[in-house]
Amino acid sequence: MTLGGTAIDPLFESVLEKPLSEILSDSCYRNICLLKMEECISHNEKCRDCACRSVCGAGCRACACGETGTDYLGIDEEACYFFKSGWYEKAQELVRKYENSFPD
C-alpha cells in the first residue's frame, strides 16, 4: 500500500512480505490512516490561525508528500489555494443551486 507514488512509499510494507493483519496493526500505513486533522494543523504554523483550517485540514496527505518530499503532515498548497481563493464557497453555492435538479 502506498501514498500515491511519493518519496515515503518505501515506508509502506508489502502484503507480499508481511501479513496484512500486522500491517494494519502496527505500521506507517496505520499511523497515517489514524492521523487526526488537528495533528496536521498543529504541525503547520501557516494552518494554526487560518480561517479555513476546519474544512481544509491542511489538505491531502499524498499531495503534501508530493510537494514536500517526505512530510506527510505538511501543507497541501493546492488545497490552500482552493479554500483561500473562495472556490469552496463557489462549489457550495453550485451544490445548493442544483441540489434539487436531479432525480433520486
Whether the full predicted model's pTM is greater than 0.85, yes or no, is no
Number of structural domains the chain divides into: 1
Q: Give the domain range for residue 86.
A: 9-98
Query: Is the pLDDT confidence value at 3 over 70?
Result: no
CA distance linking residue 93 with residue 56, whole number of Å: 17
CA distance linking residue 38 with residue 84, whole number of Å: 19
- Cell 489514524 belongs to 34
* Arithmetic mean of pLDDT, 66-91: 91
Domain assignment present for residue 82? The answer is yes
Query: 74 or 4: which carries more pLDDT confidence?
Result: 74
Worst-scoring range by mean pLDDT, 25-29, 31-35, 48-52, 85-89? Answer: 25-29
Domain assignment present for residue 21? The answer is yes
Domain assignment present for residue 38? The answer is yes
